[in-house]
Amino acid sequence: MKKAPEGDIPIMIVGDSISHGSSGDWTWRYFFWKHLRNHDVSIDLVGPKATLDNIRTAEVGDDDETYADAEFDRDHDAQWGRPYVQEKEEIEAKVAEYEPAYLLVLLGINDLFWYGVEPPAFAENLREFLTRARRPAPDLRIAVGTVLETRKALDEPEFAAKVAATNEQIRLVCAEHAAVVAETAREFRAAEHTWDGTHPNPNGEVRIAAAFADLLADTYGLGARYPRPYPVLDGVDPRAKQPLD
């Protein structure tokens, strides 16, 4: 919820529930931050929020600070339920305020699932997002993640095809706008890497963090690629997700 101190590299993570996280999560933000710090990269995560979503209540958008480990830089710009169609209207002001050098973006599932956006319209929304993000910062480096596999895509071939077409649009639009693509979907499997068919468990969080870390290392020489083989981490504690009485 601050600008980066002098000398630190400011990075803003822009996302939906997959980046926001909910009660009891580590979040991929944690694994990404920890990896870069382990490689002596001085970064400062910036953005308007620092909390998780409280999934234990019926309310949407209420905050929770029950991270699995809160000892990391928690600032971010991610919100449960957020689509590109909304974020494109807000990103210019946020970039102007928080002055990131890098924007790491993982959005899209809500556009497809809740808003019914088709791939051509998705591409136009992404173009607007990228254009507006760079208005206050023409040299802003932007990395865009691909839409992850979900249980819905496994169960519904038509939706899986829509996700695949959308990810191809992400690659094409980013190439047009000098943005780079983090292949977040490449190693992510909904059956193994989510706790509810959509939201990442710790093993999924590690794979998302790795996709962005690999991209920054390969493209910009920032840090190092995420080590393989991946650790096998315990799943989400179901008590952290239980509704409050």
Return the residue matching tokens 């998302």. Answer: 208
Select the CATH number that applies to the domain covering 10-231 from these four: 3.90.1200.10, 3.40.50.170, 3.40.50.1110, 3.30.390.30.
3.40.50.1110
Cβ pair 24, 36 in contact under 8 A: no
Q: Which two tokens stand for residue 150?
A: 């979900």
Distance of CA 43 to the CA centre of its chain: 17
The predicted model scores a pTM of: 0.96
Summarize the chain as % helix, strand, coil (round to 5): 40, 15, 45
Q: How far apart are the C-alpha atoms of 105 and 234, rounded to whole Å? A: 26
Could you list the pLDDT tens digit for every one of the 245 residues in the chain? Answer: 545 555 799 999 999 999 999 999 999 999 999 999 999 999 999 999 999 999 999 887 789 999 999 999 999 999 999 999 999 999 999 999 999 999 999 999 999 999 999 999 999 999 999 999 999 999 999 999 999 999 999 999 999 999 999 999 999 999 999 999 999 999 999 999 999 999 999 999 999 999 999 999 999 999 999 999 999 999 988 899 999 86
- For the chain, give every domain's residue range: 10-231
Cβ pair 181, 174 in contact under 8 A: yes
DSSP E strand boundaries for 2-146: 9-15, 43-45, 52-53, 63-64, 77-78, 102-106, 141-145
